[in-house]
Structures are given as structure tokens and as C-alpha cells.
């Protein structure tokens, strides 16, 4: 099928670089201009389709940059990132990093906004799993508590932002302008029901959550929290964090 393959390579080359090549010679048309006009329908649709995918995945970045600036940068991403996947779901994966690498690099705040939007997508269609019900804690006998190891729900993500990015996101999506306040914090994203939720984490809870994800047993979790809480207060803090994680549905299982 080398003849067909050659036609497809020339056709695809045209879609990727319409200004540089002329497309397959066997494309029918009364004139080179007419052939080009017909091929351009495909070339333009290709570009527009991928830009629309980015617009769908990064609506707040678009809102913050404005439609035309977003279209320019999205065009450059499309030109340098041909898709290799059957699905468009992951096409925008490298877009946050690209915002920094681009010829007109964007601020770190915009990059964070893009990272936040991509993370929301990851949480949205992450694998399904039952969350551990809140009463499960009550069923753990006291002697088992020190060795308790928790397993996070697969839809949970933790992220560190230097700006108040989730608040900026909500403001932009509500149609208010983008204001970028510096407010370093860690954030937890999770799925409740079918929707994506998030909240900020204090430094103690953020440390504890990461430790929990790393299978650190409960006893060591309490010990680690002594950095922020004195004596018995560390264990109390650990218990109340654990209760909140269960209420939020971010724990999939406990092992002891």
C-alpha cells in the first residue's frame, strides 16, 4: 500500500504545514488554487479542532489571557504538538509546561492556573473506587491504631500553589477578572459524588496527607505532627484529620 501511504503522508503533511507544501498531486481540482482551497478546509478544521480541545480543558486560562491571546498561544502549541493518541482527552497534558516554554512565556501564575485546570480533569475521570465509610474508624480496635495504614482514593490529588490559584480560577469562571495574589499553600482535590472539589491544607495536614499516601503508619503520623502540635494535641490533630478525610471520601481503605 505504498501508493496510498504516500498520498496519506502528503495529505497529513499539508494539514500540519499548509503554507509549506502543496498536498497530494492526485487531489482533484480544476486549478492548484481550487485544490488548495479544498485541502485548506481540512487544514483549518484540524487547527480549530485542537484549539477547541485546549479551550475546553483550560477555560480559565483562556478567560485570564483573553480569547485572542489564548488562540495565538494555543495555535503555537498545536503547531508543535501533533496528537499521537486515539483520544483527545490527553492532548492538553503538556500545555501547562508549554506556557513557560513558549516564545511569549506566561507568568508562573498563569502556569499554575493551567496546572490546576489539568488536575481538575485528572480528578474528574480518575478510576472509580468506593470510599471508606466514616464509621469504619470506630470498628478499629484500640491496639490496632498505632499500626494503621491508610490508602488514598485514586481520584485524590495534592498540589502546591504559590498563588491563590483555586480562588483565581473561581473568580475567572464567574466572569470576574483574574487577580493573582501570592498565597503559598497546599491544596487537596478530590471527587465527591461525580464532582470535583478542593480545599486548602494547613502545613500540618498537608504533611500528614503526604505521609499517609506514603503508607506511614498512624503512630508515626502522630509523632510527625509534634512539629506543629504539643504532646497529646498531636494525636488529637491526627484523629480529627483522619475523620475529615473519611468525611470527604478521600480514603479508600485502611489496613492494620
Q: Which residues make up the interface to another protein (CB under 8 A)?
A: 1, 3-5, 7-9, 11-12, 15-16, 24, 26-29, 35, 37-39, 41-42, 45-46, 49-50, 82-89, 124-129, 154-155, 191, 194-195
Q: Which is nearer to another protein, 47 or 106 (CB)?
A: 47
CA–CA dist 56, 92 (Å, integer): 10
Q: Which is nearer to another protein, 225 or 251 (CB)?
A: 251
Distance of CA 221 to the CA centre of its chain: 28
At closest approach, how far in Å is the CB of 26 from another protein? Answer: 5
At closest approach, how far in Å is the CB of 108 from another protein? Answer: 29
At closest approach, how far in Å is the CB of 115 from another protein? Answer: 19
Q: Which is nearer to another protein, 89 or 179 (CB)?
A: 89
Could you give the dihedral angle defined by the CA atoms of residues 92, 98, 103 and 109, in that order, rounded to the nearest 10 degrees?
110
User: What cell numbers appear for 191 in the block?
Assistant: 471527587
Q: Which is nearer to another protein, 28 or 104 (CB)?
A: 28
At closest approach, how far in Å is the CB of 34 from another protein? Answer: 10
Could you give the dihedral angle defined by the CA atoms of residues 90, 92, 190 and 182, in that order, rounded to the nearest 10 degrees?
160
At closest approach, how far in Å is the CB of 191 from another protein? Answer: 7
Beta bridge partners, 198, equal: 189
What crossing angle do the helices spanning 203-213 and 232-248 adopt, rounded to 10°? 70
DSSP 252: E
At closest approach, how far in Å is the CB of 228 from another protein? Answer: 34
What are the residues whose beta carbons fall under 8 Å from the beta carbon of 218, sequence distance 6 or more?
A: 145, 146, 147, 148, 149, 150, 238, 242
Strands 182-192 and 149-152 turn out to be unpaired
Q: Which is nearer to another protein, 21 or 216 (CB)?
A: 21
Q: Which is nearer to another protein, 39 or 225 (CB)?
A: 39
Amino acid at each position: 500500500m505504498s501508493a496510498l501511504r504516500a498520498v496519506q503522508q502528503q495529505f497529513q503533511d499539508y494539514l500540519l504545514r499548509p503554507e509549506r507544501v502543496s498536498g497530494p498531486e492526485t487531489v482533484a481540482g480544476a486549478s492548484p488554487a481550487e485544490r488548495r482551497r479544498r485541502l485548506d478546509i481540512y487544514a483549518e478544521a484540524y487547527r480549530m479542532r485542537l484549539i477547541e480541545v485546549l479551550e475546553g480543558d483550560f477555560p480559565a486560562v483562556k478567560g485570564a489571557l483573553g480569547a485572542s491571546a489564548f488562540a495565538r498561544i494555543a495555535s503555537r502549541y498545536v503547531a508543535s504538538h501533533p496528537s499521537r493518541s486515539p483520544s483527545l482527552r490527553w492532548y492538553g497534558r503538556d500545555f501547562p509546561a508549554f506556557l513557560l516554554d513558549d516564545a511569549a512565556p506566561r507568568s508562573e501564575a498563569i502556569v499554575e492556573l493551567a496546572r490546576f485546570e489539568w488536575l481538575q480533569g485528572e480528578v474528574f475521570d480518575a478510576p472509580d473506587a468506593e470510599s471508606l465509610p466514616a464509621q469504619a474508624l470506630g470498628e478499629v480496635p484500640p491496639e490496632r491504631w498505632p499500626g494503621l495504614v491508610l490508602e488514598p482514593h485514586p481520584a485524590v490529588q495534592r498540589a502546591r500553589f504559590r498563588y491563590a490559584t483555586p480562588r483565581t480560577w473561581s473568580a475567572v469562571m464567574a466572569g470576574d477578572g483574574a487577580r493573582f495574589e501570592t498565597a503559598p499553600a497546599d491544596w487537596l482535590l478530590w471527587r465527591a459524588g461525580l464532582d470535583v472539589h478542593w480545599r486548602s491544607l494547613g502545613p500540618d495536614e498537608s504533611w500528614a496527607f503526604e505521609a499517609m499516601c506514603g503508607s506511614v503508619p498512624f503512630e508515626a503520623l502522630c509523632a510527625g505532627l509534634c512539629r506543629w502540635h504539643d504532646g497529646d494535641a498531636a494525636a488529637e490533630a491526627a484523629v480529627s484529620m483522619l475523620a475529615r478525610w473519611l468525611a470527604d471520601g478521600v480514603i479508600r481503605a485502611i489496613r492494620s
